[in-house]
Structure 1
């Protein structure tokens, strides 16, 4: 997959900034004290859809309009945040959007997508089965099949990483959750374009290790399941282009359990009064797992989103922070 230049990233950021503003990066004293390091949080939960994905959707849809001004509609698959991004961007462009989600998907994310104007289709036991169905719908209904990983999506979401790394260029390590890969590939693209030495640490669920296994093997390795409450990381089939971009650019992949994610959600609330969804808390969960190994460092964590169902969040808040 081709590398994105700084000019590529800045051009994509200009598109995103027509709708949203840069999100803050904040050093919370309580959180830093808990971790024994200077910790900076990138607050993508402050975006219009409550997650980083909106950046990519806006860029992809803008460029799709240029490539195909007569596009009859788009169809995509999601566990929620990508779908909200597509629904918002499609509505702004006046293009119909169909979003496929698996059975048992987050009720609040489903409601948010429908409120943004998309047609919601429920199909499959997980994201990967929903994605296959989206492909079939694209052919059946003559819709543009919008992927969940694409260079335009990476360029768009990389704007969060440009903001973070330009503001804090001396970060030694930054922890980034991995779903299908656009978020971490955006961070890689920005780090490389800015010619920084920041180590990038990918974070997966212990119940969805496809990228951890794939990077270790040097090729795509599917898993049989991806049963985690961190739905943004519930992927069992890795994307080959994302894997190629991660290879040689990610210092380490850390796996975190659902219990560690819930604990990190609780810590975010008690130390910062911010709401984090499962994937949004995963970066902090990984740092907490490793904080005894790293002391007095300048570290970053990406709070990628805050769209969590109340029943899951209630579980997190019962834990001692």
Structure 2
């Protein structure tokens, strides 16, 4: 899909807009897992999520290859749309973003704040995506898919940062939405000649990639009812699936309750706020804790864009106060 030189050039494009995100070793998380843990903090980007990298690289290439392009259109549950809105503002382009009805209020506000024209349509991401493609034909705007080689090239820059800092990881857990993040990690690992095990993470309520991984072909689901909206995918991308099946060891499925527990763990152990998809890697590692003892474990905290109402719904009911302390 790309070589190391192209990945390093993409890193330069991303670096012009933001500094590298930190990769920290948190002792309390290490105690919790019984392993040496490093967290890649993609919640520290200008949009609070790793997707910003893909938008920057995609629009940089689009502007150079198709300079007459006036704007882009796409569908999202939030972070992909914020990425395109952020990048479009830097390249002085229009961004029209479709989201499903009932989408995250705060992510919608953020996309508008970055300059996007927001349109609510359909009951889920797939319906919004299909309408965005129809609207692209009518408006002449450039359609940006949820998965594309240039998006993967962009988000792979976080993997390049992490794996050059921690090439001795034994295993890396990566959440899967449409697949760009885990594909970027797999390709960056291979380009660096490393042998790190990469494990994908999906929701039990949106397991399309996990089912496809097991079946060896694309398997769609009728629903994607997880509260972790960044994991809510019904239709896998076949190109992403091919990379994942070749380069990942397995896909772990986590429940919404396990994700909520991981969000609480991130807050108490690191004082970092994680969205559902952002906490999924930790949720999977906690599920597989017995096999991780003594290993060096990487966790991708892919984003921190969680609505306050959802944070309150997931976190507050599960806490109790005793002796002036919050018990988690």
**Partner SS for 2:10:** helix
**Partner SS for 2:292:** coil
Give the structure 2 partner of residue 280 of structure 1.
278
Structural mapping, 1:244-263, within 5 Å = 244-263=242-261
* Superposition CA RMSD, Å: 0.8
Distance 1:317 1:210 in 2: 27
1:299 to 297, 300, 315: 297
Distance 1:230 1:208 in 2: 9
Structural mapping, 1:156-235, within 5 Å = 156-235=154-233
Distance 1:248 1:72 in 2: 37
1:44 to 42, 45, 63: 42
Q: CA-to-partner distance for each residue in 1:91-127, whole Å, 9 max, x for gaps?
A: 1111111000001110000000000001000001111
- The alpha-carbon deviation at position 39 of structure 1 amounts to 0.7
Structural mapping, 1:1-321, within 5 Å = 2=1, 4-318=2-316, 319=318, 320-321=327-328
Distance 2:140 2:157 in 1: 32
- The alpha-carbon deviation at position 293 of structure 1 amounts to 2.3
- The alpha-carbon deviation at position 316 of structure 1 amounts to 3.4
**Unpaired stretches in structure 2, ≥5 consecutive residues:** 319-326
Distance 1:48 1:109 in 2: 13
Give the structure 1 partner of residue 323 of structure 2.
none
Does the aligned pair in 2 maintain the 1:12–1:159 contact within 8 Å?
A: yes
Q: CA-to-partner distance for each residue in 1:138-162, whole Å, 9 max, x for gaps?
A: 0111111111111000010001001
- The alpha-carbon deviation at position 246 of structure 1 amounts to 0.9
Distance 2:125 2:306 in 1: 17
- The alpha-carbon deviation at position 292 of structure 1 amounts to 1.7
Q: CA-to-partner distance for each residue in 1:174-209, whole Å, 9 max, x for gaps?
A: 000000000001101110000101000000000011
Q: CA-to-partner distance for each residue in 1:249-294, whole Å, 9 max, x for gaps?
A: 0011000000000110000000000000000000000000010222
Give the structure 1 partner of residue 321 of structure 2.
none
Distance 1:110 1:292 in 2: 39
Does the aligned pair in 2 maintain the 1:262–1:315 contact within 8 Å?
A: no
- The alpha-carbon deviation at position 295 of structure 1 amounts to 0.5
Distance 1:8 1:184 in 2: 18
Give the structure 1 partner of residue 322 of structure 2.
none
Distance 1:266 1:153 in 2: 30
Aligned residues: 319
